[in-house]
Amino acid sequence: MNAYSFFLHLHSGFRYLVLLLLLLAIIRAWADWLGKKAYSEGNRKLNLFAMISAHTMLLIGIILYFLSPFVQFNSQTMKQFDTRYWTMEHLVGMIIAIAIITIGHSKSKKAALPEAKHKAIAIYYTLALLIIIVMIVLSKRDLLGMS
Ligand code: HEM
């Protein structure tokens, strides 16, 4: 197995952890926000781990960016779907989603009231998850499968 295939499988498989943690954090944030629950240590850890998983995905993605044959910088890059998507669109979309997760986490951390803490996670993480799902669908690879 070469470095490209190793990091492609790592990045591809790691998506399940990111999607799962984001989904769990979102479900809990909405439920605890609407149910007017306290902001527990469990909430804090889940929200933190979801953010860390997204940041880890960013690091693996950056390494993969330098290894992937679809990342190219030449006159044909923007004309072909695969090179345009993997050189530009995936990177930009996913970085925006990860930035939104980071902002949401920071807003939640700074907020004083439990309601505001849950609300920041509920709104920002949901938006980020939607962007991630749309970006994977746009890649024309399977959302929940290895290519
Ligand atoms: C939450 C963030 C991200 C998710 C969920 C995600 C998801 C994915 C998925 C599902 C694939 C396809 C894997 C396959 O077909 O087996 C992929 C490939 C790839 N991703 Fe990401 N990604 C994320 C962030 C990033 C970032 C930030 C970068 C760049 C800095 C990046 C660069 C790449 C590259 C270069 C490929 C490989 C394309 C190829 O050679 O086939 N990803 N990503």
Rounded CA gap, 129 and 97, in Å? 7
Ligand 1 atom nearest to 136, measured from its CA: 10
Give 36 Cα–ligand 1 centroid separation in angstroms: 37
Using most ligand atoms within 8 A of CB, pick from 4, 5, 10, 11 the residue to mutate for ligand 1: 11
Predicted model pTM? 0.95
Could you report the per-residue pLDDT of 92-147, keeping only the tens digit for each?
Answer: 999 999 999 999 999 999 999 999 999 999 999 999 999 999 999 999 998 887 55
- Amino acid residing at 123: I
CB 60 within 8 A of CB 14: yes
Task: Note the pLDDT of residue 36.
Answer: 97
Neighbours of 147 (CB within 10 A): 8
